[in-house]
Structure 1
């Protein structure tokens, strides 16, 4: 089962692509619908059709007439226009001919996303040089770890808490080693990152247990149960994994910034360990405010729809905050921010210790040589 999740091939080749070559407005149908709706005092979308040319599959090159409505079985209803590439579902009779019942179920978006990814990668490589290329490798490793290891293992029934802890620690170590190399600075950043993420995880675990949070709506929970085919799915563990993954990026960034700053200061100027720690703390304080804002704004942006939905009921603030999904986002933001705050002294102290120890060792070696 795990092997299937990790190495299952893509099903993209089964998707039928089509291109809108013509729009057909059906005024008569539209007027009948509107007339009927006026009697029932209801409104509806005007009905029209499109001619779609099939781009792949057994019916490649054929043209069919379909309702111009995407996802008519959901609330995400929208019209397509001439030139759009769409994904369609085809119904066939026993002879393999297209019959009625075929429909458009989505607009092709992934190709544009691919272009955006290519632009992103090229900009990182051009502006960042070798560091940028290393960053791209790190991003690829993170994406693979999350999509091909963490999520499949969780869906296969493994404990999300255990899986997320190992994935986060492994990803942070690999990324820092790739970006900065094998040295004292990287070691200090790894210690600070792991410490900050673990603290965020401990706070999240305590909050999840005390507040009985899942971080999901009832509909989302039902969907996950259906997909995972597991009525005993660990939703709290999944929420814990989300906290760790959300905090990891910011914590890794601040730990490397502090370790790098202390390393530069130590190489340029003779300072005591206490002074190095103070310098690292000053750097951390400057970064802390913006990073905490980054975490809070990221979580708030991700929960914007839910916040609008709950706020529309005009409830008092404490009632809004008391909702599971809102309380979960608050815990994510605060747990991640607290972990980030603890990362600053952890990285500053450990960096100062190993850099001063290394410098003293080098000085002793120099004296012996002299």
Structure 2
């Protein structure tokens, strides 16, 4: 597979550059492999709480019969400030019963009647919808099955197929390599990162090993094994290490413990997971996707500059590459902040409803955690530009010196 940003002639790199790259990458790869083997979760039974005898099945809504909604409670809802908000009436489309035909499990093909869910955030169901239901054995009537959610499996497969076709149609073999890299990333996250953290391994250490494995596997698979890719790998690893150091310092300075919602509280209470370490791990994994894009671009940019301007030395290459990097960083930083703001938009709306001041919102643990996440990731991203640019400029200038010192071969006469 070709390198993602490689446009120079094949085999134009001096052998010294390849040896230098291997001398750095091989020990890192072996250390990462050792970390994967050491931290890989065992297949021992989990201590997770049992889910009881409940079972989930797929079904199709055959008929919906709407009925009268129960009157909402007269007690007002107190949000901790004024004004007091009265309870909203229930959506009439959520009141009544539905007839389902089960499409999975031992009762496949049978019919069942269920009550429509009326709780906050419940879905509206119509005839023809594919749904998921929860069965409680030993209970008869409409209470035996409960509507849980819409069945989105077919829709997600359709979206995934469209995504794969678009990537392959546009990227061809490069697109296939990118999809293979995505599969490796997903596999490491699902089979290593999450189980290892649940097994009690330190979240920060697990995240570092997982991130290094993703970098080594995905970058070389996507962009090919070349000195340019190696420089991007080294720059990404260095910037990622700096991100971890900065995030650790910022979390300690802000006195964040990683517990900001029900999910983190549940993990801390029931599984004794280090939620502060989990926050650090999430910052490292979240920064990885943007870092590799920046480092690959910088390494390839310096390589092209060296090829187009043979007279450029280290200083010229570094300054020209840094100018490109600054333009790239300016747009990426805005992307990072907008991504975190978009993910936290419902929470920001709740703060606005509660009429909290800007200072109270910013110092809230949930928002403060996102600020630290954004700041640490951005600082690591900024550091990636000079680190990778300097490595690429040094390698390019050193290669030119080696190539100049090599004797020129006179073409043989025929």
- TM-score by length of structure 1 reads 0.88
SS of match in other structure, 1:19: strand
- Counterpart pick for 2:237 among 176, 194, 197: 194
Pairwise mapping of residues 49-88 of structure 1 onto structure 2 (< 5 A)?
A: 49-69=97-117, 75-88=120-133
Aligned residues: 352
Structure 1 residue 86 displacement after superposition: 0.5
Q: From 26, 31, 48, give the equivalent of 2:96.
A: 48
Aligned to 1:2: 41
SS at 1:3 equivalent: coil
Q: How does 1:204-353 map to 2 (within 5 A)?
A: 204-225=247-268, 229-231=270-272, 233-270=273-310, 271-353=312-394
Does structure 1 residue 124 correspond to structure 2 residue 167? yes
134, 144, 161: which is aligned to 1:89?
134
> The residue matched to 1:51 in structure 2 has which SS?
strand
1:45 deviation in Å? 4.2
Residue pair 1:90, 1:103 contacting (<8 A) in 2 also:
yes
* Alpha-carbon distance in structure 2 between the residues aligned to 1:274 and 1:210: 37
Summarize the Cα distance change of 1:6–1:208 in structure 2 as closer, same or farther, 3 Å threshold. farther
3-state SS of paired residue (1:78): coil
Q: Distance in 2 between matches of 1:100 and 1:344?
A: 60
The Cα shift of 1:121 comes to: 1.5
Greater shift, 144-153 or 311-320, is seen at 311-320
Find the counterpart in structure 2 of residue 107 from structure 1.
Answer: 150
Summarize deviations over 1:272-294 as a string: whole Å, max 9, x none: 11111111101101101111111
Match of 1:139 in 2: 182
Q: 1:90, CA displacement in angstroms? A: 2.2
Q: Which residue of 2 aligns with 1:165?
A: 208
Residues 66-107 of structure 1, C-alpha deviation per residue, up to 9 Å, x if partnerless? 1122xx5x632122011110111223449xx87743211111
- The separation in 2 between residues aligned to 1:23 and 1:268, in whole angstroms, is 69
User: 1:39: how far off?
Assistant: 12
Q: Which has the higher helix share?
A: 1
1:314 & 1:44 partners in 2: Cα distance?
26
Task: State the Cα distance separating 1:365 from its structure 2 match.
Answer: 2.6
Name structure 2 gaps, 5 residues minimum. 1-39, 77-85
Q: Deviations over 1:290-333 (max 9, x none)?
A: 11111111111112222222232222212211111101101111
- RMSD of the alignment, in Å? 2.6
CA distance in structure 2 between the partners assigned to 1:364 and 1:196 by the alignment: 34
| Matching residue of 2:33 | none
The answer on 1:178 being equivalent to 2:218 is no
CA contact 1:321–1:327 (8 Å) conserved in 2: yes
